[in-house]
Amino acid sequence: MTSIDAGRSSLLDLFQEEARGQAQILSDGLIALERAPRDPVTLEASMRAAHSLKGAARVVGVPVGVTLAHVMEDCFVAAQEGRIVLDAGYIDMLLRGVDLIVQIGEARDIDAQTALEREVDAFVDGLSAHMEGATSQRELTPTKPSEPIQAPSRTNEARMLRMRADTLDRLLSHSGESLVESRWLKPFSQSMLRVKRVQHDASRALERLHESLTDSNAAQLDARTHAALDEARRLTAEAHRQLSERLAELENYDRRSTHLAQQIYDEALACRMRPFVDATGGFARMVRDVARGLGRDVHLVIAGESTQVDRDILDLLDAPLGHLLRNAVDHGIEPPSLRRALGKPEIGTITLEARHSAGSLFISVSDDGAGVDLDALRRAVVRKHLASEDTAARLTEAELLEFLLLPGFSMRDAVTDVSGRGVGLDAVQDIVRQVRGSVRVTQVTHVGTRIALQLPLTLSVIRSLIVEVAGEPYGLPLAHVARTLVLPASAIDMLEGQQHFSFDSKRIGLVTAHQILETAAFEAASERLNVVVIGQGAASYGIVVDRFLGERMLVVQPLDKRLGKVRNIAAGALMENGDPLLIADLDDWLRSVEKLVGSGELGRVGAGASRARVASAKRVLVVDDSLTVRELERKLLASRGYDVSVAVDGMDGWNAVRGADFDLVITDIDMPRLDGIELVTLVKRDAQLAALPVMIVSYKDRAEDRQRGLDAGADYYLAKGSFHDQALIDAVRDLIGEAKT
């Protein structure tokens, strides 16, 4: 590609972005003008958008864009001057022009632009004919090339920069780690205070010694002894002074660095946030088009446009919100004649609102339509064999509305372009659950329906309950935790062979987190159990953990994608002291419990229910420079009873095997300082270590890579590409047997 071609490609990229932005302004403006066709502010904004687009098209050499934008600009000018009124006919035509603008922006070559010329010419002729009685032919003549170009004014706008999403994600990750590291200074400073107290006590003891010697043996102490005691007192006082000064400086540095790290993290996090309005661009147009197709008149009101939403959440909202809005038009808003008969305005109103509350993002879609026909819903439930007639008759309104969220559930018998395919609110709920959110449906007959989505403010930070299971910390996202409680063992009952307890007038099954995570067997320390209630409705369970460690905001560290889906684990994080922990996937936990229940393998809970075998555990050294892989392998092996140590690279591993006894070494290949092949070679050449089994776990899965590892002396080669927990455990057992014998 020549420099000229590259330059034009860059200009076309800018024009595509410009066309998309101006098309959105025009679309929003036309929807507003349909309600208030003479509004001068909206007319001016729409005219300027068309004018700016015309200038941009001329700069990049897209004549078809110049022609289209010019005729639309003239139409808005005619409306400003009162020569025409933008009625529904004009709005329909101009919205078609907006669609053409988007297509022109996406046309990447001359051929594609030429193919659009016929459509643009037809559009220009149609709009000109519509304006014929009010607009002169002179006004429809394209502007001469000598006309000065006016670019969009950005005088009052903040300067915008483009950044790759993965770059921003890394920035946020690093700033989160920086914030965690900065908090290490606090405990260090506190430990130095303890040193200061010890030093102070030593100074007091020396002072008392001096007084004792002076009082009892004053006559016998020579000048040198007095001088030595005085020098010791002076040095002790000087050390105390300097330690106090250094501690004060350390405390000031701690405050500044923690504050700065927090500011950096907050700014990085803010970069991920976008206003809710960014997700609502095409909704007004969509609601209008769907309503007109159904013979209804609907007005969309958007509230909370400036509400800040995480970028990833915002990207996921387009499909579910679009579905909810179409659903509101089709199922909610009545035809104009029926609304008149009910004493309602002929124009129906749908409100899309976003707001922050209690640490969550709430987005709701509500309408002033007919509400849900509860009798029809009951009949649909019975017809689809989801409940008997007697059961359906006893269901409360809230219980009935829950059926709307079931997969494949639809109240429509006939399939249309809008509904009836059974792809209902369950699709919305699935997407919302992906981001640890929830959906709730409420309605009032003949007043309207409201569907509310509760979502986390950001996917980068999770407010979590930290618990301890088998000596390891885990983060449980609070959005999926219904309740925490301390349960007396006497409150546990047996029902159909399974342990239950009473919670909110319901029987809740009980299981240990140890069994879910397949760690060492649970041993109750007392007659009182720490229980976390997760799930909803009948699918609720109490999970017994060893200890509650508190509630914290965790900076999410995504797992390496090459690991695939790790069962029961959603992500990683670092605690304030820098220790790593794993964030639980509580949906996976629920599935694991249901699998245990279905297979009849659910264990018992309670003091004395099981006793850990007293035996020495076999020792395994995990060598890997990836924190994620290192921690996953360590936790996986520790959960099976192995005594696991870790090394951060090959040199660290080599030092470890020479300083302690291990039954097995598991190593990666690509590592700094000393790679895995070199480590295996060193181990196998050492007379004292040659018999030590070594397993290579690497992403390199080519035959030559395997052969290199085995030639170096490795006893087993496992590819991370096909890695899963059972494969690793089976390989370890093959080499050294069970964890305890």
pLDDT tens digits for 526-572? 778 899 999 877 678 899 999 998 888 787 877 777 777 788 888 88
354: confidence class by pLDDT, cuts 50, 70, 90? very high
Q: For 555-579, what is the HEC assignment?
A: ECECCCHHHCCCCCEEEEEECCCCC
Residue 204: is its pLDDT beyond 80?
no
- Percent of the chain clearing pLDDT 70 (strictly above): 83
- The confidence score (pLDDT) of residue 349 equals 93
3-140: CATH architecture: Up-down Bundle (1.20)
Q: Edge to edge, what strands does the sheet with 498-503 contain?
A: 481-488, 528-536, 539-545, 506-512, 498-503, 493-495
pLDDT, tens digit, for every residue of 276-299? 888 887 888 889 888 988 889 999
Contact between residue 675 and residue 669 where contact means Cβ atoms under 8 Å apart: yes
Among 51-55, 74-78, 497-501, which stretch is predicted with the lowest mean pLDDT? 497-501
137: confidence class by pLDDT, cuts 50, 70, 90? very low
- The confidence score (pLDDT) of residue 139 equals 43
Residue 245 is encoded by which pair of tokens?
A: 């000064």
224: confidence class by pLDDT, cuts 50, 70, 90? low
331: confidence class by pLDDT, cuts 50, 70, 90? confident
By DSSP bridging, strand 539-545 and strand 528-536 are antiparallel
Nearest to 568 by CA among 644, 639, 488: 639
CA–CA gap between residue 287 and residue 277 (Å, rounded): 16
Q: For 611-635, what is the HEC assignment?
A: CCCCCCECEEEEECCCHHHHHHHHH
Per-residue pLDDT, averaged over 355-364, amounts to: 84
Per-residue pLDDT, averaged over 727-733, amounts to: 85
Query: Which one is predicted more confidently, 435 or 187?
Result: 435
Which segments of 356-466 does DSSP mark as H helices, in order? 374-383, 389-394, 397-402, 425-434
Please give the single-letter amino acid code of residue 131.
M
- For the chain, the C-alpha Rg in angstroms (whole number) is 35
Among 181-185, 360-364, 394-398, which stretch is predicted with the lowest mean pLDDT? 181-185
Q: What is the secondary structure of 115-150 as a DSSP string?
A: HHHHHHHHHHHHHHHHTTTTS-HHHHSPPPTTSPP-
- The confidence score (pLDDT) of residue 493 equals 77
143: confidence class by pLDDT, cuts 50, 70, 90? very low
Among 432-441, 494-503, 660-669, which stretch is predicted with the lowest mean pLDDT? 494-503
- The confidence score (pLDDT) of residue 612 equals 38
CA–CA gap between residue 182 and residue 593 (Å, rounded): 39
> CA 506: distance to chain centroid?
32
Residue 55: is its pLDDT beyond 60?
yes
Among 24-38, 124-138, 257-271, 344-358, which stretch is predicted with the lowest mean pLDDT? 124-138
621: confidence class by pLDDT, cuts 50, 70, 90? very high
CATH number for domain 462-599, candidates 2.40.50.140, 3.40.1350.10, 3.40.640.10, 2.40.50.180 = 2.40.50.180
Query: What are the E-state strand segments in 382-527?
Result: 438-444, 448-456, 461-469, 472-477, 481-488, 493-495, 498-503, 506-512
Residue 664: is its pLDDT beyond 90?
yes
Write down how long the chain is: 741
Please give the single-letter amino acid code of residue 464.
S
Query: Which one is predicted more confidently, 520 or 54?
Result: 54
Residue 107 is encoded by which pair of tokens?
A: 């046309």
Per-residue pLDDT, averaged over 414-426, amounts to: 54
Nearest to 487 by CA among 512, 470, 464: 512
CA–CA gap between residue 401 and residue 251 (Å, rounded): 57
- The confidence score (pLDDT) of residue 623 equals 92
Which are the contacts of 340, defined by CB distance < 8 A and separation ≥ 6? Answer: 346
Nearest to 101 by CA among 138, 51, 151: 51
Nearest to 15 by CA among 69, 80, 81: 69
Residue 158: is its pLDDT beyond 80?
no
* Buried-state track 350-381, b at ≥16 Cβ within 10 A, e below 16: bbbbbeeeeebbbbbbbbbbbbbeeeebbebb
Query: Which one is predicted more confidently, 200 or 398?
Result: 398
Per-residue pLDDT, averaged over 573-581, amounts to: 76
Is the domain covering 619-736 a CATH 3.30.428.10 domain?
no
- The confidence score (pLDDT) of residue 424 equals 64
Per-residue pLDDT, averaged over 699-721, amounts to: 79
Residue 400: is its pLDDT beyond 50?
yes
Count other C-beta atoms under 10 Å from residue 247's C-beta: 15
Burial class (CB in 10 A: 0-12, 13-18, 19+), 618: buried
Whole-number average pLDDT of the chain? 80
For the ranges 17-21, 235-239, 574-578, the maximum mean pLDDT occurs at 17-21
Give Cα separations from 48 to 75, 149, 456 (angstroms): 12, 12, 38
Burial class (CB in 10 A: 0-12, 13-18, 19+), 522: buried
Among 23-32, 234-243, 313-322, which stretch is predicted with the lowest mean pLDDT? 234-243
**Domain 298-456 homologous superfamily, CATH:** Histidine kinase-like ATPase, C-terminal domain (3.30.565.10)
144: confidence class by pLDDT, cuts 50, 70, 90? very low
Per-residue pLDDT, averaged over 401-416, amounts to: 72
Per-residue pLDDT, averaged over 564-585, amounts to: 81
Q: To which H or E segment does residue 598 belong?
A: helix 586-599
Per-residue pLDDT, averaged over 612-628, amounts to: 75
Which segments of 81-216 does DSSP mark as H helices, in order? 88-106, 110-130, 137-140, 165-182, 185-216
Phi-psi region for residue 504, left (φ > 0), alpha (ψ -120 to 50) or beta?
left
Count other C-beta atoms under 10 Å from residue 516's C-beta: 23
- Percent of the chain clearing pLDDT 90 (strictly above): 12
Which are the contacts of 289, defined by CB distance < 8 A and separation ≥ 6? Answer: none
